[in-house]
Structure 1
Amino acid sequence: MMLVMLIVASTCCAPFTYGQIMDFGNVLGVAQGKSPWSSENDYYYDTLNPEHAQPVITSPAQQFLINEGDNVVFPCVVTNLGEYNLIWRHGDKLLWILLEKNGERLEQEMTMGDSRLSLEGTALSLRDVQGEDAGSYTCEISSKPPRTLNHTLDVRVPPAVFPANNRSVVTVKMGSSVTIACLPYGKPRPSITWSLKRCEWLIASLHVSQGRKLTRAPSGNRLVVTNAQPEDNGMYTCTADNGAPTTAKAVITLQVMFPPKVRVEEEEVITGVSYSATLACFVEAEPMAKVNWYRKGDIPVDPLRLVKKMDVRRRYSLQFDMVTLEDFGVYTCNATNYMGNSSAVIHLTGRPKPVRYFSSPQGDENTTYTLVWDVESYAPVLTYTISYGNESDPEDQWVNLMVPGTSSSSSLHSSSHTFDNLQPGATYNVQVTATNEFGESDVNETFAFSTLREAGNISPEGDKPTGDQHPHPPSHQSQDVVSETDEEEEPSQVTPIKDAATVGTTDGEGAKPTLQEPQVIHDGVATAESSASAQDSAAPTLTPAERRTQMGAFLTAIILSCFFS
Structure 2
Amino acid sequence: HRSWFLHMRDVQETDRGWYMCQINTVPMISQKGYLQVVVPPRILLDKTSTDVVVREGTEVTLDCSASGYPQPYVAWRREDGKAINYNGETVNLVDGNIFQIRKVSRLHMGAFLCIASNGVIPSVSHKIMVTVHFPPMLTIPNQLEGAYISQTVVLHCHTEAFPASLNYWTNEKGDMIITGDHYEDSRLTNGYSCHMTLKIRTVMPNSFGSYRCVAVNALGETDGFIKVYEISNPHSNDVLEHTNSSDSMTSIINNNQIQSIETNSIHQNNRNSPKSKSYFDPAANLKNSSQQSSNLIRSNIIVFCIVHLIIVYLIT
Which residue number in structure 1 is paired with residue 157 of structure 2? 281
1:152–1:181 CA distance, 2 compared to 1 (3 A): same
1:122–1:252 CA distance, 2 compared to 1 (3 A): same
Q: Map of 1:306-455 to 2, 5 A cutoff?
A: 306-312=184-190, 314-320=193-199, 322-325=201-204, 326-349=206-229, 351=231, 379-380=233-234, 405-407=237-239
Offset from partner CA, 1:52-79 (integer Å, 9 cap, x none): xxxxxxxxxxxxxxxxxxxxxxxxxxx6
Which residue number in structure 2 is paired with residue 501 of structure 1? none
Count of matched residue positions in the alignment of Structure 1 and Structure 2: 238
TM-score normalised by length of structure 2: 0.60
Partners of 2:22 and 2:11 lie apart in 1 by 22
Q: Which runs of 5+ in 1 are unaligned?
A: 1-78, 82-120, 199-209, 353-378, 383-404, 415-478, 485-565
Which residue number in structure 1 is paired with residue 258 of structure 2? none
Task: Identify which of structures 1 and 2 has the higher relative contact order when contacts are C-alpha pairs closer than 8 Å and 6+ apart.
Answer: 2
Which residue number in structure 1 is paired with residue 96 of structure 2? 220
TM-score normalised by length of structure 1: 0.36
Instruction: Give the letter for the 2:109 counterpart.
Output: N
Partners of 1:213 and 1:190 lie apart in 2 by 23
Which residue number in structure 2 is paired with residue 211 of structure 1? 82
Q: CA deviation at 1:222?
A: 0.7
* SS state at 1:311 partner: strand
Partners of 2:28 and 2:150 lie apart in 1 by 104
Q: Which runs of 5+ in 2 are unaligned?
A: 243-247, 254-316
Offset from partner CA, 1:430-456 (integer Å, 9 cap, x none): xxxxxxxxxxxxxxxxxxxxxxxxxxx
Instruction: Indicate whether 1:192 and 2:74 are aligned.
Output: yes
Q: CA deviation at 1:177?
A: 1.8
Match of 2:117 among 241, 245, 268: 241
1:195–1:139 CA distance, 2 compared to 1 (3 A): same
> Which structure would you say has the larger Rg?
2
Instruction: Give the letter for the 1:178 counterpart.
Output: V
* SS state at 2:138 partner: strand
Q: CA deviation at 1:304?
A: 5.2
Instruction: Indicate whether 1:138 and 2:17 are aligned.
Output: no
Q: CA deviation at 1:270?
A: 4.9
Instruction: Indicate whether 1:149 and 2:31 are aligned.
Output: yes
Instruction: Indicate whether 1:264 and 2:144 are aligned.
Output: no
Partners of 2:173 and 2:27 lie apart in 1 by 100
Identity across aligned pairs (percent)? 23
8 A Cα contact 1:189 1:242, kept in partner? yes
Identify, as 1 or 2, the structure richer in helix.
Answer: 2
Q: CA deviation at 1:283?
A: 1.8
Offset from partner CA, 1:111-155 (integer Å, 9 cap, x none): xxxxxxxxxx43445688665654444323234665433323333
Q: CA deviation at 1:295?
A: 1.7
Instruction: Give the letter for the 2:108 counterpart.
Output: D
Offset from partner CA, 1:491-512 (integer Å, 9 cap, x none): xxxxxxxxxxxxxxxxxxxxxx
Partners of 2:19 and 2:151 lie apart in 1 by 85
